[in-house]
Amino acid sequence: MGTDKTYQELVGMIDRNLEFLRLQRKRLYDIVFTLSQTEYGMALLMARCEKMQVTIKKCA
């Protein structure tokens, strides 16, 4: 079994990774929003999503 310090380090790594993912998700949303503001940008976005087999929910 690991020590309490080892567990605390692992939990810290999880926390840092979750924060990184949260920031990346926000950045991705910002990029998607920016692209979706123009017809050309939306076309590029939809083509990329189709290629990657990703669906985008319409934002209200």
Residue 58 falls inside a structural domain = no
Residue 57 falls inside a structural domain = no
Residue 13 falls inside a structural domain = yes
1 vs 45, higher pLDDT: 45
The pLDDT of residue 50: 82
Mean pLDDT of 40-45: 91
The pLDDT of residue 58: 59
Helix (H) or strand (E) holding 39: helix 39-52
Is 21 a residue whose pLDDT tops 60?
A: yes
Mean pLDDT of 2-28: 93
The pLDDT of residue 40: 95
Angle between helix 39-52 and helix 4-35 axes, rounded to 10 deg: 130
What's the domain range around 21?
A: 4-52
Residue 60 falls inside a structural domain = no
Residue that is written with structure tokens 């920016």 in the block: 34
Domain count for the chain: 1
Residue 10 falls inside a structural domain = yes
Residue 59 falls inside a structural domain = no
